[in-house]
Amino acid sequence: MARSGEGADVLPPTGDGRDARPSAIDLLQPGDLVFFKLDARTKERLDHVGIVLGYDTEGHLIAVSSREEVDGPTIGDVGGVSRLDGNGSYAKTLRSAKRL
Which letter does DSSP use for residue 2 in this model?
T
**For 4-37, b where at least 16 C-beta lie within 10 A, e where not — what string?**
eeeeeebbebeebeeeebbeebeebeeebbbbbb
**pLDDT tens sequence for the chain (100 residues):** 777 888 898 988 776 566 677 878 899 999 999 988 776 676 677 778 889 999 988 999 998 877 666 555 556 555 556 889 888 888 888 888 999 9
Q: What angle do CA 57, 48, 55 make, to 5 degrees?
A: 15
State pTM to two decimals. Answer: 0.81
